[in-house]
Amino acid sequence: MFSKKEITIAYSVEKCTKCGMLKKRKFIEGDILFAKSSKCNSCDGMTTIEKIFGETTKQ
Amino acid sequence: MDFTNFDQIFAMNDDTNPIMMLIWIVPIILFVFYGQRIQLYVTSGEIKKGISKLDGFRAESRNELIDYVKKNLKPDDDPVKKIDRFLDYFTIMPVDMDPNGIVGKVQHIVRSREDYTRNHIKSLSPQINDFELTKVQTLLEIASSLQMIHKIINHMFLTAKKQNNYPLILPLQMILPFIMEQAEAMKKAIPAFKTGQPVGDGIGPMVVGKMMLNNEKETVAFQTVLAKTEFENRKLFLLKAEGPGSTVGRPADALKTIVSDNKLDAIIMIDAALKMEGEDSASIAQGFGAAIGGMGTEKFQIEKVATDNNIPVFSIIVKQSVTEAITLMTKEISDKASDVTLQVYEMIQENTKPGESVMIIGVGNTAGVPQ
């Protein structure tokens, strides 16, 4: 009755193949591990999806 | 009456209050004759709550499957009737009075069922690609498992109630928490499989998939891929289910094919394993023997190939709960991928010599994990 509702949010972690910078963002449908994702913000390299995971919070 | 005077309340001498005597005796008589029935009513209430929860899971998984098929497969006809028929499909396991050859029989039945399901999903939408097909197949398995669980538990409960049989309801009361845990895990798994996200069980394919990147891949068995690479003068055969579809592949068939053409000196299997209560989630352990779950047919074949060819089998497992294994991979598990990779390389160095060949198998569901 008094238990809090658990909500899991999926995240994707992008890693730049050139400078190694990591960026965590919310998962977008179609994201697949190791796939090329976007341009790196700190250099001109491309990022790939390094990890996809869920984080659970209680509400 | 003075309620603080216990001698007076519990007195059994001549001047005992007859009402107090009745308060003592009536419940004793009631429990002697109707004790089991009272327990049955109390237990029934708890079980009924569980069954209505199971019914909710069953209905939810069915609706999610129908919605997914209608939205993504866009079938020409209404798929509801067909889906309902698939959900009621049952599998009769082979007779085991004579266990000789039972593994082959079980494998045949399981694979026939998988082929049947695959063909019938294709019949819903002939243009469906393999990625979508594996997703629908998994969702169908979840929905039919939840339907079967609900049916069996409900049957056991109704039988016990019909016969007013308290001893029959006891085992049900004992197993219900475990069943509920499994059922809840299955229900929670639906969003991950629908969106093609990696699940906890995918840690093995994730490690091997990353090792496979930038190497040429070939299909060696149904939904199973192989890549060859080298590490410190050792030949590595990397094997996993073909991602990013939701499948576990057929590693035993692949191993048989590879062993027929190559001499292997070690097999390393990476898999998720159920943690014991009190153990930390995402902890890594090393051991011997084939780390692979399922019906046991794949494990049997891998062990047979390893024994026939005298190949030692090592394993690395990442421990997790039932729920973690089939729902979206947790951060703790995904963070362990690099540690597992390091342990694989250490294991190769420690157990093989330069010039030898090692097979590394990433065991588990490869949903959302390509190579």
Element (DSSP H or E) covering residue B267: strand B266-274
- Our CA-based measurement puts residue A13 at a distance from the nearest CA of chain B, in whole angstroms, of 10
pLDDT, average across residues A40-47 = 89
For the stretch B341-353, pLDDT in tens is 999 999 999 999 9
Q: Is B329 on the interface with A (CB under 8 A)?
A: yes
Closest residue to B244, CB basis, from A11, A32, A55: A32
A32:B337 CB<8 A:
no
- ipTM for the predicted complex comes to 0.92
Minimum mean pLDDT range among B58-67, B94-103, B163-172, B186-195: B163-172
Phi-psi region of B196 (alpha: psi -120 to 50; beta: other; left: phi over 0): left
Residue B7 in this model has a pLDDT that exceeds 80: no
- CB-based contact B121:B144 (threshold 8 Å): no
- Our CA-based measurement puts residue B127 at a distance from the nearest CA of chain A, in whole angstroms, of 19
- Our CA-based measurement puts residue A54 at a distance from the nearest CA of chain B, in whole angstroms, of 5
Task: Give the Cα separation of A33 and A49 in Å (integer).
Answer: 5
pLDDT of residue B8: 60
Closest residue to A33, CB basis, from B192, B209, B333: B209
Task: Give the Cα separation of B197 and B194 in Å (integer).
Answer: 8
Q: Which residues in chain B have their CB less than 8 angstroms from residue A32's CB? A: 196, 244, 368-370
Q: Where are the domains of chain A?
A: 6-58
pLDDT, average across residues B129-153 = 95
pLDDT of residue B13: 57
pLDDT of residue A38: 86
Residue B126 in this model has a pLDDT that exceeds 80: yes
pLDDT, average across residues B32-59 = 91
Closest C-alpha among B212, B156, B202 to residue B368: B202
A35:B209 CB<8 A:
no
3-state helix, strand, coil in chain A (%, to 5): 0, 55, 45
The count of residues in chain B is 371
Average pLDDT, chain B: 92
> Alpha helices, DSSP H only, in chain B?
6-9, 18-68, 80-87, 102-124, 130-162, 166-195, 203-212, 251-261, 297-308, 322-326, 331-335, 337-351
pLDDT of residue B352: 96
